[in-house]
Amino acid sequence: MSKVYDLTVIGSGPAGLSAAIYASRYNLKTLVLGMNQGGTITDAHKVCNYPGLPEISGPVLGEKMKEHAEKYGAEVKMGLVEDIEKEEGNFSLVTNLDEKYFSKKIILATGTKRRKLGLDGEDEFMGSGVSYCATCDGKFFEDKIVGVVGGANSAATAALYLADIAEKVYIIYRRDKLRAVDAWKKEIDKKDNIELIFNANVVDLLGGDSLEQVKLDNGESIDLQGLFIEIGSVPKTDLAKDLGVKLKNEYIDVDSKQRTNLDSIWAAGDITTNSNKFKQAITASAEGAIAANDIHKKIKSSN
Amino acid sequence: MTKKVTDQNFKEEVLEAENYVLVDFWAGWCSPCKMLGPVIDKMAEEYDEEDLKVRKMNVDENEKTPAQYNVSGIPTILLFKDGEVVHKMVGFKPFKEFKAEVDKKLKEN
């Protein structure tokens, strides 16, 4: 039988990489399998609330976390885990590229994916106007008119990023005021080219080969070339469901030690019911650290 | 590693090619593009160049071609045949799904 890891973390965002940092410093043989080093934080052009790093770009923070985990011995690999089975007391994990790994314990830290508007044409206009990543696609909208749908922190930071590139940015939000923190609201107030539209939902996407106009449920229409969807996220629980991990309102139900209902499987980060579902890098990191600590104790006590 | 294509050699490498050419428009600052990277590399490995050529174009270093094909979200993957776009994909897809979609188009055209 090939190498057996003490711990395999599925997901390489702040939760997964923090777990790997702690686990490798506990001397556990640790593997991280993920598709995006840094996870959701890589969507943020600026992160200003991670202690010790007053201002850092999301992708750079992700890269630093990965390097940190590797420095202490964790192996961080690209891989999309598709299947997990129990084999002779260990887990076998198979990726989409048919690579196979064995592990004693698992942390599920697969995070979330973007919520879509659910409108006709949304998929067709993706890459021709509709985007879920301002930092990826912002540059294609230089001197153009764009909209951002949503009003929380991710929408606010996307709008600020786009305001420096686009001619005009509309923030379209269903509530009567932004939910983003005051620091971002102040930045938005300073921008002449951001216009807020409250109490409105996008109900129609119109255009030919690319997006040209959106219709709102308040009767207005806005001509624009780009629409960035920032309306939150939904947990990626396919693997958890396959394994029989208990969910609560779509999130993985964990206890204060990040344990799931199943033996040898922990969960950490945006995918769990913990940390008041705050979905921050720092809370995800904390959950990863707590899980790694509990796994270390379990392995030590069984030896 | 997948070979690069640029604004300068796009015509010769892609448009004048006698076979199918898959072009991945990407950039270093785009996380879904990074996720797709290994999928594109595996596609390049998987096919004989005579059946399907796989190329990557960095949209930071090359601005003409992405604009010409109205690329406004990355990763965008275009499948070319005889100088024409026969299929467009946007965003990350796992390898098996990605390959199945390309194979279907190769058979159709």
The interface predicted TM-score (ipTM) is: 0.87
B55 is annotated as an active-site residue: no
A302: burial class by Cβ within 10 Å (0-12, 13-18, 19+)? exposed
Nearest CA of chain A to the CA of B32: how many Å? 8
Name the residue of chain B whose CA is nearest to A13's CA: B31
Interchain CB contact of A112 with B (< 8 Å): no
Which string of DSSP letters, residue by residue, matches B14-79? IIT-SSEEEEEEE-TT-HHHHHHHHHHHHHHHHS-TTTEEEEEEETTT--HHHHHTT--SSSEEEE
pLDDT along chain A (303 residues), means of 10: 90 98 98 94 91 94 97 95 92 93 98 95 94 94 97 96 98 97 97 98 96 97 98 94 96 97 97 92 98 97 85
Q: Is A294 a catalytic residue?
A: no
- pLDDT score recorded for residue A302: 87
Chosen for mutation from B29, B70, B88 (greatest number of chain A CBs closer than 10 Å) is B29
Q: How far is CA A171 from CA A6, A25, A196, A224, in A?
A: 47, 44, 5, 12
The encoded tokens of residue B87 equal: 């299929």
Q: How far apart (Å, rounded) are the C-alpha atoms in residues A184 and A241?
A: 37
Nearest C-alpha in B relative to A38: B31
Angle value at C-alpha A269, between A71 and A67, nearest 5 degrees: 15
Per-residue model confidence (pLDDT) at position A276: 85
Q: For residue B50, give how far its alpha carbon lies from the nearest alpha carbon of chain A (Å).
A: 24
Verify whether the Cβ–Cβ distance A135 to B92 is below 8 Å: no
Identify each DSSP E strand in A141-225 by its residue range: 145-149, 168-172, 194-197, 202-207, 211-216, 221-223
User: Which amino acid is present at A77?
Assistant: K
CA A209 to chain centre: 30
Chain A residue numbers touching B92 (CB-CB < 8 A): 35
Alpha-carbon distance of B21 to B34, in angstroms, equals 20
pLDDT of residue A1: 55
Catalytic residue among B27, B30, B86, B90: B30
Q: How far is CA A299 from each of CA A27, A102, A107, A255, A267, rounded to the nearest angstrom?
A: 11, 16, 14, 18, 17
Per-residue pLDDT of chain B (109 residues), as tens digits, is 899 999 999 999 999 999 999 999 999 888 899 889 999 999 999 999 999 999 999 999 999 999 999 999 999 999 999 999 999 999 999 999 999 999 999 998 7
In the structure encoding, which two tokens stand for residue B69, read together?
Answer: 């094909």
Ranges of H-type helices in chain A: 14-25, 58-71, 134-137, 153-163, 182-190, 238-243, 281-302
Count chain A–chain B contacts defined by CB atoms under 8 A.
70
